Amino acid sequence: MTLGVRITHRLGDVTIEADFEAPAGATAIFGRSGAGKTTIIRAVSGLLRPDSGRIAIDGRTVFDSETGVFVPPHKRRIGYVFQEGRLFPHMTVQSNLTYGGQHDFDRLVDVLGLRSLLSRRPATLSGGERQRVALGRALMSRPDLLLLDEPLAALDAGRKAEILPYLERLRDEGGVPMIYVSHDISEIARLASTFVLVDKGKTRAAGPIGEVLSDPAMGGVLATRDAGAVISGKIGDHDAATGLTRFDFDGGAVLVAGGAVPVGIPARVRIAASDIILSLGKPEGISALNVIPVTITAIEPAGQSGVLVGLRAGSAMLLARITRASSEAMGLKTGARIHAIVKATAVMTGPMTDGDD
């Protein structure tokens, strides 16, 4: 499955220009509120007809302004989970679920924990329950592609934690490919293998999440707090006494805060650029584990007084944000071998890319 999008659409004073390819697996469309993310997936779903361009799902052209092809939404075989759920208020949960089909009904009802809700009305459900029903409803229509438009944005942290595992499971089972729209980089780092950055209506970058997020040139478009690489590896030891888990990757290891995830399973961590300190010499007197020997691959300006430093450790790419003044004082140059000191961070389970691509 690949999704190919190349569209332009005028919306008020913003012109949306999207150009990206999404391979199988989970693709994130990331950007600030109002950047045009929703417009792009509405165009993919057929709920919006762009001014011009072309959209193809798995080689099937669903929109082409040149040949006049426009497949209406109900024939696109797309599952769409809206931010606000959009359950039918006059139907029970059961009727909502089966509105588009009954594919895999029993298993999905169990997986999503909906069995006890089947006879209820949407108005009586909590926000998290509603989004689980919306997800189930979309999946039972057996879509070729699942679009998730900020499905967690309306939920508090607790409810988010209730839904995220379902999405991870969905991704890991290698079923339906997902396009996941969000403005929350940690959600995306947890779920997506492909990353599409949208800024002021335009797609600024698209590619494997590890590559795009560790590219120092992203400093120009990503907010300071959002810059940071996602690296993949596996879970090493878990120390119950300290509550820390060792995350091993090609190029080193870091101690991460996190629960007792099974040792040896593939995992990924996001290391925010602001959570890395650079040192010319090997620092003494601190835990050796979070000190990683690295090579500088690039130095790019970020914001008014900062720089983003691209770092390579083994095959992993990291990104550090320091002030321009420090960079000059340290005399950092591309190719220099230095040390990165990484703060403990949170671990996320799941492989970087789906096993089947």
Partner 1 sequence: MTGEGWLGPAEWQAIALSFKVALVATLCSLPVGLGVALLLARGRFWGRGLLNLLVHLPLVMPPVVTGYLLILGFGRRGPLGTMFEEVFGLVFAFRWTGAALAAAVMGFPLMVRAIRLAVEAVDPGLEEAASTLGAGRLRVFGTVTLPLILPGVLAGAVLGFAKGLGEFGATVTFVSNIPGQTRTVPLAIDTLLDMPGGEPLALKLALVSIAVAAAALALSEWLARRVRGARGGQA
Q: Which residues contact 13 (CB under 8 A, 6 or more apart)?
A: none
Does 71 bind partner 1 (CB under 8 A)? Our answer is no
**How many amino acids of this chain bind partner 1 (CB under 8 A)?**
27
Closest separation in Å from C-beta 334 to partner 1: 48
Interface residue with partner 1, options 101, 207, 301, 303 (CB under 8 A): 101
Measured from the CB atom, the residue of 73 and 283 that comes closer to partner 1 is: 73
DSSP state of 347: E
DSSP state of 106: H
Q: Give the integer Cα–Cα distance in Å for 163 and 142.
A: 20
Q: Give the integer Cα–Cα distance in Å for 236 and 257.
A: 13
Does 6 bind partner 1 (CB under 8 A)? Our answer is no
| Burial grade of 124 (CB within 10 A; 0-12, 13-18, 19 or more) | exposed
How far, rounded to the nearest angstrom, does the alpha carbon of residue 146 sit from its chain's CA centroid? 14
DSSP string over 158-198: HHHHHHHHHHHHHHHTT-S-EEEEES-HHHHHHH-SEEEEE
| Burial grade of 191 (CB within 10 A; 0-12, 13-18, 19 or more) | buried
Measured from the CB atom, the residue of 175 and 264 that comes closer to partner 1 is: 175
The runs of H, that is alpha helices, within 202-353 are: 209-213, 324-330
Interface residue with partner 1, options 10, 49, 60, 74 (CB under 8 A): 74
Interface residue with partner 1, options 34, 72, 174, 220 (CB under 8 A): 72
Which of the ranges 28-36, 43-51, 104-112, 268-276 carries the binding residues for partner 1, by CB under 8 A?
43-51
Interface residue with partner 1, options 100, 113, 283, 314 (CB under 8 A): 100
Longest pairwise C-alpha distance within the chain: 67
Measured from the CB atom, the residue of 97 and 231 that comes closer to partner 1 is: 97
Q: What string marks each residue from 112 to 151 as x (binds partner 1 by CB under 8 A) or -?
A: ---------xxx-------------xx--x----------
Measured from the CB atom, the residue of 44 and 222 that comes closer to partner 1 is: 44
Does 202 bind partner 1 (CB under 8 A)? Our answer is no
Q: How, if at all, do strands 178-182 and 26-30 pair? A: parallel
Does 60 bind partner 1 (CB under 8 A)? Our answer is no
Does 70 bind partner 1 (CB under 8 A)? Our answer is no
Instruction: Give contact residues for partner 1 (rule: CB under 8 A).
Output: 45-47, 72-80, 82, 84, 86, 88-90, 99-101, 121-123, 137-138, 141
